[in-house]
């Protein structure tokens, strides 16, 4: 079976945010989330469930004719210069 295409997420609220595994203060995490949501074309951050749905689709028979693509499950971040700048500042 060929390897399914990968998914790329940006500004997705995960358990790492909630458990503060990022080495940031709660205030910094909240500020980053607010800035990411404001910069995102959809006006919000993504959820782990939204990423999981993309993965489930790619693993399903409905995606049987899909190969060699990048599925950007990022709320439009790839086309958002302001969100790209925010990501670079935080990395």
Q: Phi first, then psi: what are they for 47, rounded to 5°?
A: -120, 155
Rg for the chain, CA atoms, rounded: 15
Superfamily of domain 7-90: NAD(P)-binding Rossmann-like Domain (3.40.50.720)
pTM check: above 0.85: no
CA pair distance 76, 87, nearest whole angstrom:
14
pLDDT tens series, the chain, 91 aa: 444 444 444 567 666 666 566 677 888 888 888 888 888 888 888 888 998 999 999 999 999 999 888 888 888 877 777 656 655 665 5
């Amino acid at each position: 079976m060929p390897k399914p295409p990968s998914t790329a997420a940006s500004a997705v609220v995960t358990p790492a945010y909630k458990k503060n595994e990022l080495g940031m203060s709660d205030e910094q995490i909240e500020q980053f989330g607010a800035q990411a949501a404001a910069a995102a074309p959809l006006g919000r951050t993504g959820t782990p469930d939204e990423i999981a749905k993309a993965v489930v689709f790619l693993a399903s028979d409905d995606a049987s004719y899909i190969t060699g693509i990048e599925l950007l499950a990022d709320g439009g971040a790839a086309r958002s210069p302001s969100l790209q700048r925010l990501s670079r500042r935080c990395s």
